[in-house]
Amino acid sequence: MPHKSDSIIPDVIVIGGGFSSAILTHTLSKQGYTVIVLEASERLGGRLSTIELNGRAIDAGCSFVHGYSDSHPLHALSSELGVEIEYAGATKPAIISNKEALDDATAATLQTALTKAIEAAKDSKTHTAHNSLKKVLLESLESTIDGKETLALATAYINSLDAPLGMPVEEVTDLTRFGWEKPLDGKDALVKGGYAVLFDAIWQSALDTGKVTVLKEQKCVSISTKDKVKTIVSTTRGQLESKVIVCTVPLSTLSTIEFHPPLPAEKQSAIADTRVGLLEKLICTYKKNWWGDRNSFTILPTRSTHHSAKEVLESHVLNVQAFENHPTLLIYLPPGAVRLLAMYSKQEVENAGAEVLAESLGGADVDKKSATPLKTHLTTWKKDSNSNGATTTYCTPQQLRALQTAVADDRLGFGGEHTEIDNHGSVNGAVLSGLREAKRVAGYLERRAAN
């Protein structure tokens, strides 16, 4: 028979208030389970952040819904909640070298060659002679591209991978950790009005069930599963009990939580060894579009010195996105630049970014007034103690499986993008992990009630 305390204590405590927690809480509450959500900060959202710049909603955290289709798990949910998800428009890319756009033929050559090189790197994992990503990419480019000048451009273009990787290409020295994922198949899409519109709708739907309690500014200090009947969470404000706990905090903050008894050695090793990427965004919004009809830019380095914030930016490959329907540019700051920019003030970095954009995309004839942003915003995910960086990168399936596995006879589970094998590092990973954990928790609670 169920323990007598089962009618008193809540079913689930979810630690963390990000996207995985939202999906998990929404799913369980709709099934009638009671859920307490503990969030360390004063807001829900985690690494989701929709801000307003000059009256426009802009996603400063996660932005795209990757691999979107009718079968995507957010498709049915967004329709149910009345939130629109729209496919992103066609990409019109340009590669900028020495403050001028390369001709389309040369740009296409670089793009095709790098795509081919990436495929070669994925295939080379079985070859013990090749263990460096940069080395394999260079060898492929050298066999594909004719002409020293074009090869030099292609070599610089390699580091356009730094931002999506969350780490410099040069630091990828084990190809068994590169390119093995099989993510959701579909197209890139955007939530109309920003991710917060969907996120807030999910939470409101969960709260409307009357089964959910959200406690903010409750930082988790320790988790105990020693008691065979109840699990105990200790926070900076006290203790709470439940039948099940699911920890959805980002990977980089997991190590700050004490577990009693200690987690299995394999999970501890995965927490310590799985890398968290480094990526920040610099967003500039303007009165009008001054850069033309291109909506995606790769700005190649023009110098190698780092004597100012501007020089730091000019010494790295910068991937730049132009927003649809409003005049805004977003620089994905690569990890090498983020590290060096840490010594400069927010204002210095924002001013430097605006200058680099004006000079690189507008050239000598740019109208300085038009190319001066009305508003700017620099993210600081690395400095945020509740995120400590971006998302997981440079990992193995075995590490992610260890991070995913529940312990303590299924009474302590783990969610978040870092627990999804093929879709880690994205909202898809968070969503899928929330659904996975909801199914697992419901199964456990059903078995517990039946015994």
What's 440's domain CATH number? 3.50.50.60
Determine how many CB atoms are found less than 10 A away from the CB of residue 89.
Answer: 11
Q: What is the DSSP letter of 419?
A: G
What is the number of domains present in the chain? 3
Q: What is the DSSP letter of 167?
A: S
b/e map 303-341, b = 16+ CB within 10 Å: eeebeebbbbbbbbbbbbbbbeebbbbbbbbbbbbbebb
For residue 97, is it within any domain?
no
> What's this model's pTM, rounded to 2 decimal places?
0.95
**What amino acid occupies position 79?**
S
For residue 120, is it within any domain?
yes
Range of the domain at 229: 4-49+60-84+192-276+387-450
For residue 259, is it within any domain?
yes
3-state helix, strand, coil in the chain (%, to 5): 40, 20, 40
Cα–Cα distance measured from residue 207 to residue 338, given in angstroms and rounded to the nearest whole number: 38
Same domain? 285 vs 215: no
* Residue that terminates a domain, selected from 177, 209, 237: 177
Cα–Cα distance measured from residue 165 to residue 171, given in angstroms and rounded to the nearest whole number: 10
Characterize the bridge pairing of strands 375-378 and 258-260: unpaired
- Mean pLDDT across 258-270: 97
Q: What is the DSSP letter of 184?
A: P
For residue 342, is it within any domain?
yes
The residues with which 407 forms a beta bridge, in sequence order, are: 412
* Residue that terminates a domain, selected from 147, 177, 207: 177
- Mean pLDDT across 270-280: 95
Q: What are 415-432's pLDDT values in tens digits? A: 999 999 999 999 999 999
Same domain? 199 vs 262: yes
Q: Do 155 and 138 contact (CB within 8 A), yes or no?
A: yes
* Residue that terminates a domain, selected from 335, 357, 378: 378
Over the Cα atoms of the chain, what is R_g?
23
Q: What are 367-408's pLDDT values in tens digits? A: 889 999 999 999 999 998 888 888 999 999 999 999 999 999
Q: What are 183-227's pLDDT values in tens digits? A: 999 999 999 999 999 999 999 999 999 999 999 999 999 999 999
For residue 187, is it within any domain?
no
For residue 185, is it within any domain?
no
Q: What pLDDT does 126 receive?
A: 54
Same domain? 310 vs 429: no
Cα–Cα distance measured from residue 114 to residue 136, given in angstroms and rounded to the nearest whole number: 11
Q: Do 35 and 213 contact (CB within 8 A), yes or no?
A: yes
Same domain? 325 vs 407: no
For residue 92, is it within any domain?
no
Q: How many Cα atoms occupy the beta-carbon half-sphere of 301 within 13 Å?
A: 21
